[in-house]
Amino acid sequence: MTDTPDPEKLEALDARIKAAKAAIEPAPRTQSKYEKASLAWRMVLELVIGMAMGMGIGFGLDSLFGTLPIFLILFSLLGFAAGIRVMMRTADEVQRQKVERSTKD
C-alpha cells in the first residue's frame, strides 16, 4: 500500500525481536558455591589415586620378586610425589583460567 514503513510497527517489531533474543540467550555463568569444593575434591583424588597406584605397583613387584616391602615403600613415595605433581599442575591450570577470566572482563 504505502512505500514507507510505519515507524511504530518497526519499533514494536524491534522490541519483539530483542525480547525473543533475550529469551533464548543463556544467562551469564556465575560461580556456584560448590565450585571450590569440587576443585578441592579433584585435588584430593589426584593425590590419593597417585599413592594408590604407587602402592599397587610396589605391592605387585614385591609379590613378584618375593622381596621385603622395599618396592611398596619406594613406589608409595613415588606415587605420593606424582600425586603432588599432578595437584600442582591442576592448581596452575586453575590459576591460568582465573587470570584469563580477569583479563577478559
pTM of the model: 0.65
Any idea where the domains of the chain sit in the sequence?
A: 33-104
Residue found under cell 579433584: 42
DSSP string for residues in 34-94: THHHHHHHHHHHHHHHHHHHHHHHHHHHHHHHT--THHHHHHHHHHHHHHHHHHHHHHHHH
Cell numbers of 8, please? 511504530
pLDDT tens figures, 29-88: 666 777 888 889 999 999 999 999 999 999 999 999 999 899 999 999 999 999 999 999
- For 88-97, what is each residue's pLDDT tens digit? 999 999 999 8
